[in-house]
Every structure is written in C-alpha cells, then in structure tokens.
Amino acid sequence: MIKKVFILVLSITLFSCGNQFSEKEQLEYTKKGKEIAQASFKELSTNLKTQMKAGGPAKAIPFCKEEALPILAELSEKHNATIKRSSDQLRSCKIEPALRELDIIHAYKQSKSQQKELKPIVEIDNEGNKHFYSPILIKSQCLVCHGKVNETMTVQTDSIIKSIYPFDIATGYSEGDVRGIWSITFNK
C-alpha cells in the first residue's frame, strides 16, 4: 500500500514537473502573450489604416504582401518571441500552419459555433518551447479584403487579390468568424 502511494505521488510529481506550466507561469505567459498579440494587432492595423486612407485596397494589399511579415519579424525581436499569424484558409504562401496550430484553429471554430468563450491557450511542447495561442476574429473592417465577393467585398478588390495571390482562399468570411490564430513562441 505505502509503496503504491509512493509511486502515485512520485508519478504526479514527475508529471507536474515535466512539460507543464505551474499556475503562476500559466498566468504570466497568458498575460505576456495577450500583450504581444494586442501590440502586434495594433501595429498591423495602424499601418493598414494609413495605407487604406492613402490609396484604398489597391495600395493596402501590396503593402500587406511586402510588409506584414517584416513588421511581425521586427516585433518578434522586440518582444523576444516568434510572432506568427496562422490560418487554415491562407492568403500568404509564406505561412505554413503547424499541425498543433490547425488543431487549435479547429477547436476555436467549434467553440465559436457552440457560442462558447474563446480563451487563450498556453502550453509547453515536447521540446520545452513555451507557446501562446489566441483567436484572430474577423471585424467589420477586415471584410473589404476577406469578405464575401459581391456582398461585403468588391469584385475589383477580389481581382487585385487574385492577381497577387492566385491561390488565395482567405475570402468568404463574415464578422465574428475565426480567421486564424496568433501563435507566439517565447524565446528560451
């Protein structure tokens, strides 16, 4: 009996010291991740607004193609993390969603369809990397370039997008849809 209890305690201890966050770390990394995701969203959307004002989608779309990834690379360096936007319906061919990211996107989509709250996720992978994930939802201002063609998005904008991204599948969204996720990996 004592032996069994000992083994049980030992295995619980080993398990909790393994690839798991303590409660304190979980809060800490959730807070950090949220801050980074918010700062990144702000930076991208401020730039996007400036471009839209200056020349509409014809100017903003090529801007996104050239600058979205460099902006995120710069923010990654600043925040000592790798900041990535991932999606199951991609526009950019430079983004490759990891299997874990796709799982999380699908789980968020399911929660959304069941009207459940979409909470950020923090976890440690088998290699000991610390991750933060949170949903990216479609807002009304996203529809110009991610909406439904002929409804919330013009044919003209769609053709600009198709000329730059022939394999684009990032349209057809409605407000509130899960567009993808922030996938942030903290540097060790």
Which chain residues interact with ligand HEC by CB under 6 A? 45, 48, 57, 60-61, 64-65, 68-69, 85, 87, 90-92, 95, 136, 138-139, 141-142, 144-146, 170, 179-180
Q: Which of residues 25 and 148 has its CB atom nearest to ligand HEC in the complex?
A: 148
Spatial CA neighbour of 104 closest among 125, 146, 135 = 135
Max intra-chain CA distance, the chain: 75
Candidates 177, 137, 130; CA nearest to 33 is: 130
Closest to ligand HEC by CB, 65 vs 112, is 65
Of 81 and 142, which CB lies nearer to ligand HEC in the complex structure? 142
Find the Cα–Cα–Cα–Cα dihedral 112, 115, 121, 127, rounded to 10°: -50
Torsion of CA 44, 144, 173, 75, to 10 degrees: -10
Query: Residue 65 or residue 124: which is nearer to ligand HEC going by CB?
Result: 65
